[in-house]
Chains A and B, each alone.
Chain A
Amino acid sequence: MTVQFSPAAGRDRFVGQAISRIDGPAKVTGLAKYAGEFAAPDLTYGVVVSSAVAKGRIARIDAASAEAVPGVVKVITHENRPATSQKPEDYQDAVAPPGAPFQALASDSIVFSGQPVALVVAEDFETARYAASLVRVEYETAAPLTDVAAQAGEAYDPPTKRNGIKPPPEPWGDAAGAFDASEIRVNGRYRMADEHHNPMEPHASTVVVEKDGTYTVYDKIQGVANTQAYLGGAFGLKPEQVRVLNPYLGGGFGSGLRPQYQLFLAMLAAKDLGRSVRVTLTRDQMWSFTYRSEAVQTVSLGADRSGKLQALKHDAVQGTSTYEDYQEVIVNWSGVLYECDNVALTYSLTKLDTPTPGDMRAPGAVTGVYAIETAMDELAYASGQDPVQLRLKNYSEGDQTEDKPFGSKELREAFRQGAEAFGWASRKPEPRSMRESKELVGWGMATGIWESMMMQSSARAVLGADGRLEVGNQTGDIGTGTYTILTQIAADTLGLPLDHVTTKLGDTHLAQAPVAGGSWTAASSGTAVMKACRDIAEQAFRLARGMENSPLANVDFERVVFTNGRIEVAGDPSKSVALTDVMKATGTEKLEATGEAAPDKDFEEKYNAYTHSAVFAEVKIDEELGVVRCTRVVSAIAAGKVLNPKTARSQILGGVVMGIGSALHEESMLDHRIGRFMNHNLGEYHVPVHADIPDIDVIFVDEEDKANPLGVKGLGEIGIVGVAAAISNAVFHATGKRIRHLPITIDKVLGEG
């Protein structure tokens, strides 16, 4: 199916083209403003004081010396904090898991290390920071429990399931029996470190008190509607009292899905003081909320001699906080990826004295696919199969977890093109068989998978008499390229040049749209924009046809094309009229329309939709010194239509880079004695730097999908999934040592594995 964006043009001028980012000039000149950069004449600065302990209560808090510093406006603690809603459910934002969300300064109780215990508000930033250092807090401490492996015995099935997160399917067949009876068995326990999102922009909120008593809030959030609703619940503010904006977001990766405590504190202070307040968290405070919590996983695979799966068991025990049951989909992917008659997938939680974990780029899939794809690699060696061939042998033609066919699945083609680009055919299968000078060379691969989703979204479009179009909705461009693709779609639908289209995002005054996450924005907002623009096209056409001596008289809508700012009869450019002339002749100031997009119920009843990837990685290892370098990655993606190859490629590159981090570098290290992440800075929490990242080859394979009229499936997450397994498998191929614990650092390469 070829999707056409212009109503009848039969060709796409911008969609599918490698258009440079529309927001590029603003970003390279420093003019793009982020949440903590908006000014207000009466702005005050809030600095958060963080708990030194993980569990217990505040015995005494003394803010007198802080309050005595000239320039300090107020120190807010649990002792003097203004009242907010008493109902826990009022704090549940749109993506909250079941439980009672954390409320800053609500009581003397301490439930995680780094918990905010005071907000110091001052006339300038330096005064607030200095005064914050003078707040004295005494604690009564209790022993925290933060070790997920040690607490695995306390695991439980979450009684309330998280909205939108599918629990594991009921087991089918007899996985235990079939495993025992299998000729080839592999069984492994897989671990990975806790990871923190660490977007480059620390979380920040600026609450501006307007003259009329309303609030304008600039919040680091992936969807402004979520912030507005949260403030409504917590502070009893009506939507018309709060306008939330976030035109640019300095990276989210999930950390900006939920309103975080700096927003609550900024609004608390602004409301209390009647003054504008900005609260920006420090980098170390970025370890005091949301993280990718470790899941301790076991995977057991039974197969016949040819490698055909007979049994598949995948279990995960994941850490959550004491106050919310965070859940993600970790084990289900195994049942979706491989055809097998005897499958048991199980998932449970265990309580830890940490902040509630949260969605981090491809939540659950990064974790679960690492385990299953490493186990599959182990099975490849155990059965003497090439890893790609083993996956083809067990290739699923439908989603067994729900007994539905796939809407589309071009993973086979991704394997083929990825393998070819990588040169996989020249791989020597035996571990330790490839070498280059002093280094062992390893080639590994893995599959990636992510769900393709669509969310209820709307978009508004307004065409002015000057022929310029404005489109937009509330969703955020979190670096994904949303401004650009929506502009492309709008321009193509109405046949306008790109510079005649302005896309606005991240403002609650715009049309309703959900948070940007889950890779659903292109499909959802893109469809809504296309529909709004198509509506305007129809309106404009009707006006044009009604014009005196209209060249379009007696022509149907289906027979016209919108191109170069004109409506013209297809195949007959001599019969055309400029949009601006239509507006002028009919005395029309503007044409407006709202487009609505929603999941296609018929499609969803019939099919399940996923994106897939085939990831091939090369590592070079100095075995004596345990140094692993990732030297090459090929990522072949099957994810429907690509709207913009340039920004799409960047999405995948970014995912691969974070995947390399997961595989080799990233680890938030807890001191379990005190329940505190100790390497809470970018010097000691290692995200990859330039030197760690080799050239990366991204391939998009053709895939036609019908879940939405655009044919897109989403790209934000799929790039990271499978990368850690591919690298881990390459490390095994290089060394013959199976390391089942990420990140693969020097100590593990030198150690017992």
Chain B
Amino acid sequence: MNRFDYVRPNTVAEAVQALGADPAARFIAGGTNLIDLMKYDVERPGRLVDITRLPLRDIEERDGGLRIGALVTNATVAYDSAVKERYPLLSSAILAGASAQLRNAASTGGNLLQRTRCYYFYDTATPCNKREPGTGCSAIGGVNRIHAILGASEHCIATHPSDMAVALAALEAVVQVSGPNGDRAIPIAEFHRLPGDDPAKDTNLAPGEIIVAVDLPAKSFTTNFTYLKLRDRLSYAFALVSVAAALELDGQTIRTARLALGGVAHKPWRNTEAEALLQGEPATRETFAAAADLILREAKPQSTNGFKIELARRAIVRGLEQAAAGTPQSQSDKRIQ
């Protein structure tokens, strides 16, 4: 871990000022990923701006939805009574991720900004375009069973590891940010980006911007939803594939569908075309399979992760089945509904 300067501001304005235009400065909140990366010398910040004392710890009503302060911990969100009641999909997704200890420390904003778990990104002994632009992608042709099947580029095949963000994508959350040029709102779909030829950049946050809140729109899915996560052990592992599915049904007809995938791309993967295809259709396996096919039409396997395409196809179908049946996946009963 490198040496750094430490600053602890009390207000958002102070925090933005403390970060300044310094590309080597980082905000730190829960620290669960940043300190991890610093110990591997993947992150070497010159300055840490400790934002844990900023007044961003409230969950409040807003425009019929909820505003979650950027510093509210993952555990607090997951167990918040309003969230559990109105956004059980979000609660479930958060509880599918990490461990109780990590969820107690990790913040809402930090969760969105966590970096990929690609082995090569983490290992400074190997080239990685995300870590050191221009050095190449070691995962291509290497150990890549956990890597992306959608939206990857020849420069990077990493995936985004968050579970929470997948639910937020399905819920069409909005990320509120503040920066040197004022405040702005970024729809979750535009928050994370695909690697393209600049994989070092995970998000569309502008330099100096800080996440202050995440807004959940009024539209919530309280009956027909699920978060289904498939991984290499039954807990405390990142997703090979995860599915956030939320439906509104008219009898057996799908009125609204939301579907987002985790573990398959550089960002939570949402395909509105597939959602549109589901709309107005009967909630049947055939319909779900058609949506899955549409989503995976452009999926591309790497040397050892081809199984993820078929796994994603089946997970989408099952996730939609769970949502349609109103039998959301339990995160502690490991029998898959």
Assess A/B contact in the complex (Cβ within 8 A).
yes
Chain A residues within 8 Å of B, Cβ to Cβ = 50, 52-53, 113, 126, 129-130, 133, 284, 437-439, 620, 622, 624-627, 629, 664-665, 669-671, 673-674, 676, 678-681, 683-684, 686, 688-692, 745-747, 750-751
Say how far A662's CB is from chain B's closest CB, in angstroms.
Answer: 13
Contact A684 B119 (CB under 8 A): yes
Q: Which of B65-73, B141-149, B178-186, B250-258 contacts A (4 or more CB under 8 A)?
A: B141-149
Docked-complex contact B318 and A624, CB < 8 angstroms = yes
Mask of B208-239 contacts with A, CB within 8 angstroms, 1/0: 00000000000000000000001011111110
* Contact, CB under 8 Å: A678 / B143: yes
- Chain A CB count within 10 A is highest, among B138, B142, B315, for B142
Interface residue B2 (Cβ < 8 Å from any Cβ of A): yes
- Interchain residue pairs A-B with the least CB separation, the first 7: A52-B125, A691-B235, A747-B307, A678-B119, A691-B234, A678-B143, A622-B336
The answer to whether residues A686 and B235 also contact, given A681-B122, A750-B311 and a CB cut-off of 8 A, is no
Q: Measured between C-beta atoms, what is the minimum distance from B286 to chain A in Å?
A: 15
Residues of B at the A interface (CB closer than 8 Å) are: 1-3, 39-41, 117, 119-120, 122-126, 138, 141-143, 145-146, 230, 232-238, 240, 307, 310-311, 314-315, 318, 332, 334-337
Contacts of A53 in B (CB 8 A): 125
CA distance A391 to B336 in the complex (A): 35
* Besides the known contacts A133-B1, A678-B120, 12 further A-B residue pairs in the complex with CB atoms under 8 A apart: A53-B125, A437-B335, A622-B336, A671-B142, A671-B143, A678-B142, A686-B237, A689-B233, A689-B234, A746-B230, A750-B310, A751-B307
Asked if A130 and B141 make an inter-chain contact with CB atoms under 8 angstroms apart, the answer reads no
Asked if B335 and A130 sit within 8 Å, CB to CB, the answer is: no
Interfacial chain B residues near A751, Cβ < 8 Å = 307
- Bound Cα distance A52, B315 (Å): 38
Query: Is the Cβ of B336 less than 8 Å from the Cβ of A690?
Result: no
Inter-subunit contact B41/A133 (CB<8 Å): yes
B311 contacts A626, CB within 8 Å?
A: yes
Which residues of A lie under 8 Å from residue B310 when comparing CB positions? 750
Alpha-carbon distance between A669 and B336 when the two chains are bound, in angstroms:
28
Are B335 and A665 in contact, CB atoms less than 8 angstroms apart? Answer: no
Contact at B335–A691, with CB atoms within 8 Å? no
Could you say which residues of chain A place their CB within 8 Å of the CB of B39?
Answer: 129
- Which chain B positions have C-beta within 8 A of A626? 230, 311
Cβ contacts under 8 Å, B307 to chain A:
746-747, 750-751
The verdict on A625 contacting B311 (CB below 8 Å), with A130-B3, A684-B119, A686-B233 known, is yes
B233 touches A625 (CB 8 A): no
A692 to B233 alpha-carbon distance, docked (Å): 7
Once the chains are docked, how many angstroms separate the CA of A464 from the CA of B1? 53
When distances are taken between beta carbons in the complex, the residues of chain A under 8 Å from B335 are: 437-439, 620, 622, 629
**CB contact between B1 and one of A130, A437, A673, A689 (< 8 Å): that residue:** A130
Bound Cα distance from A308 to B216, whole angstroms = 67
A-B contact pairs, 23 of them (CB 8 A): A50-B125, A52-B125, A129-B1, A133-B41, A437-B335, A625-B314, A627-B336, A671-B142, A678-B120, A678-B143, A679-B143, A680-B123, A684-B119, A686-B237, A689-B233, A689-B235, A689-B236, A745-B232, A746-B232, A746-B240, A747-B311, A750-B311, A750-B314
* Interchain CA distance A438-B337 in the complex, whole Å: 8
Q: How far is the CA of A692 from the CA of B2 in the complex (A)?
A: 37
How far, in angstroms, from A439 to B337 measured CA to CA in the complex?
Answer: 10
B334 near A629 with CB under 8 A, answer yes
A676 to B240, CA, bound (A): 22
Q: How far is the CB of B54 from chain A (nearest CB, A)?
A: 27
Report the minimal beta-carbon distance from A441 to chain B, rounded to whole angstroms: 11
Cross-chain contact B143 with A692 (CB below 8 angstroms): no
Q: When the two chains form their complex, are residues A126 and B1 in contact, meaning their CB atoms are under 8 A apart?
A: yes
Task: Compute how far the CA of A678 lies from the CA of B126 in the bound complex, rounded to whole angstroms.
Answer: 10
Neighbouring A residues of B142 by C-beta, 8 Å: 671, 673, 678
What separation, in Å, do the CA atoms of A27 and B264 have in the docked complex?
43
Contact A746 B311 (CB under 8 A): yes
- Please determine whether B141 and A624 come into contact, CB atoms closer than 8 angstroms: no
Complex: A483 Cα to B332 Cα, angstroms: 37
Give, as a whole number of angstroms, the nearest-CB distance from A737 to chain B: 14
Most buried by A among B41, B307, B315: B307
Chain B residues positioned under 8 Å from A674 (CB to CB): 126, 138
A626–B310 Cα gap in the complex (Å)? 11
* Residues of chain A lying within 8 A (CB to CB) of residue B41: 133
Contacts of A690 in B (CB 8 A): 235
B117, A625: Cβ atoms under 8 Å? Answer: no
Whether B3 and A686, one on each chain, are in contact in the complex, defined by CB atoms closer than 8 angstroms, is no
Q: How far is the CB of A261 from chain B (nearest CB, A)?
A: 18
Contact of A678 among B40, B123, B234 (CB under 8 A): B123
Are the CB atoms of A679 and B336 closer together than 8 Å? no
Are A625 and B235 neighbours in the complex by a CB distance under 8 Å?
A: no
CA A745 – CA B307 in complex, angstroms? 11
Most buried by B among A629, A669, A688: A669
B residues near A625, Cβ cutoff 8 Å: 230, 311, 314-315, 318, 336
Q: Which residues of B contact A676 (CB under 8 A)?
A: 123, 125-126
Closest to B3 in A: A130
Write out the residue numbers on chain A whose beta carbons fall within 8 Å of the beta carbon of B315: 625
Contacting pair A669 B143 (CB below 8 A):
yes
In Å, the complex CA distance between A689 and B334 comes to 13
Q: What is the bound-complex CA distance between A676 and B139, given in angstroms?
A: 13
Q: What is the chain B residue whose CB lies nearest that of A693?
A: B234
Chain A's nearest CB lies how many Å from the CB of B312? 11
- The answer for the CA separation of A751 and B126 in the assembled complex, in Å, is 30
**Residues in B neighbouring A52, C-beta threshold 8 A:** 124-126
A673 B318 Cβ-Cβ under 8 A: no
> How far, in whole Å, are A650 and B155 apart by their CA atoms in the complex?
49
A747 and B145 form a contact (CB under 8 A): yes
Shortest distance between the CB of B264 and any CB in chain A (Å):
14
